[in-house]
Amino acid sequence: MINQYFKIFFILIFGWFLVMFQQGFINDLPGWASEANLVIVILIFILGLKGIKEALAWALWLGVLLDIFSFYFFGLYIISLSLTVVFSHFLLERFFTNRSLYSFLALDLFTSLFFRLFILCFIYLISLFGVLNFVLSDNWWLRQGQGIVIDLILTAIIFYSLSLISRSFKPVFLLRGKRK
């Protein structure tokens, strides 16, 4: 019982610090670095380590916190993060079954892309005017591509950091010869 309370308390506190770090520090970095989305990268690793239930709990809490600091309608990040976690879980279970660097990078690529597209679609559906010109501008697509590249770099750094302290990750994808 106490363990469950500690787990909830940890999710609340670490989630709050993660969103504060994202909103207060990462978004203010110069150049490409400001496009990083540490929330998505951390959610991918939570999904890979803990499973869908824990990742959805994190997505709900992080979505609430991001919605509080957002100028868009409340629920945009809750819905987008939840759909992204469900989509990522489907990819993780069906296509990227091993926990290698390549599978996490591919999962991060698709997850970051679909999270950004979910946000875009929901904003477009709500506003129906004005966003279309913004979407078709070259600058917007370039910034999204930069964000995905930064997310991939963050994923590789976190993966190698976790592979040093845990045996649940494998830094190689294909092995030659017999497995020992």
pLDDT per position as a tens digit, 126-160: 776 555 445 556 677 788 888 888 889 888 888 88
In a domain? residue 170: no
- CATH number for the domain including 160? 1.10.1760
In a domain? residue 178: no
Task: Report the length, in residues, of the chain.
Answer: 180
Is the pLDDT score of 8 beyond 60? yes
CB atoms within 10 A of CB 73: 13
Is the pLDDT score of 48 beyond 50? yes
Count of domains forming the chain: 1
Is the pLDDT score of 121 beyond 50? yes
Average pLDDT over residues 74-101: 86
In a domain? residue 148: yes
In a domain? residue 171: no
In a domain? residue 64: yes
Is the pLDDT score of 77 beyond 50? yes
In a domain? residue 81: yes
Which residues does 144 contact at the CB level (< 8 Å), separation at least 6? 35, 116
pLDDT per position as a tens digit, 16-47: 888 888 888 888 888 878 888 888 988 988 88
CA distance 72 to 70: 5
In a domain? residue 54: yes
| Secondary structure (3-state) at 167 | coil
Helix (H) or strand (E) holding 54, with range, is: helix 52-68
Is the pLDDT score of 83 beyond 60? yes
Domain that holds residue 119: 2-165
In a domain? residue 149: yes
Is the pLDDT score of 179 beyond 60? no
Q: What is the pLDDT of residue 35?
A: 81
